[in-house]
Chain A
Amino acid sequence: KAGVTQTPRYLIKTRGQQVTLSCSPISGHRSVSWYQQTPGQGLQFLFEYFSETQRNKGNFPGRFSGRQFSNSRSEMNVSTLELGDSALYLCASSLDATYTQYFGPGTRLTVL
Chain B
Amino acid sequence: KNEVEQSPQNLTAQEGEFITINCSYSVGISALHWLQQHPGGGIVSLFMLSSGKKKHGRLIATINIQEKHSSLHITASHPRDSAVYICAVFTGTASKLTFGTGTRLQVTL
Contact residues of A with B, CB < 8 Å?
Answer: 31, 33, 35, 37, 42-45, 48, 50, 55-56, 58, 88, 90, 92, 97-103, 105-106, 108
Contact = CB atoms under 8 A, between A and B. Distances in A.
Contacts of B44: 103
26 contacts: A31-B95, A33-B97, A37-B41, A42-B99, A42-B100, A42-B101, A42-B102, A43-B99, A45-B96, A45-B97, A45-B98, A55-B95, A56-B93, A97-B94, A97-B95, A98-B31, A98-B94, A98-B95, A100-B45, A100-B48, A101-B48, A101-B97, A102-B45, A103-B42, A103-B45, A106-B41
Interface of B: 30-31, 33, 35, 41-45, 48, 86, 88, 90, 93-102
B45 A50 contact: no
A88 B41 contact: yes
- Specify the main secondary structure of chain B where it touches its partner: strand
A45 B89 CA distance: 11
A2 to B, nearest CB: 15
